[in-house]
Structure 1
Amino acid sequence: MKKLLFAAACTAVLSSPVLACTAPGKAPEIPDPATAVTAQMVKSNNEVKEYVRAQEEYIACSGLGSREKRQALESLQEYADRFNQAVRAFKLASN
């Protein structure tokens, strides 16, 4: 019985969301819209979306102060804006 309770307690502690709060890796590269092909842009779009989602989750659970959170969100927004500009430039070049 004690082993069962210990196993349940360990499972609860190890599956805690706090322990799962890890910073995502490096931001994906944004392809050059002048030389990229559609497959590259689609792949990059998926990678950027995943990175932004992971970064938002990390910021929410990281315990950063309000100033650090604001800076991290501003940085993430700038990255997303750069990608969106690249997408717009790619669409213009493709037409």
Structure 2
Amino acid sequence: MSVNFKPLADRVLVEPMAAETKTASGIIIPDTAKEKPQEGTVVAVGAGKKDESMTVKVGDKVLYGKYSGTELKLDGKDYLIVRESDLLGILE
């Protein structure tokens, strides 16, 4: 997947995972009750700050804070742009 967007400095473009539609027991969750996803896939990475290289790379699955970053829409898809320091970790 290619996105025509290059984050600046220590920013990362993340594609959030889809929100859960069912509970573990099979109950369907209505749209109004769905929680905002807190994990996603890195789509683009900035060059980093002076004297600091980036830890994450394109394709990494990451966790981020519930209210982190700025939501934006590119080519009809929803993305989140966050600073690398707002990422909580990489899922392996």
TM range (shorter): under 0.3
Greater fraction strand: 2
> TM-score by structure 1 length?
0.23
Greater fraction helix: 1
The structure, 1 or 2, with the larger RCO (C-alpha pairs under 8 Å, 6+ apart) is 1
Q: Which has the greater radius of gyration?
A: 1
> TM-score by structure 2 length?
0.23
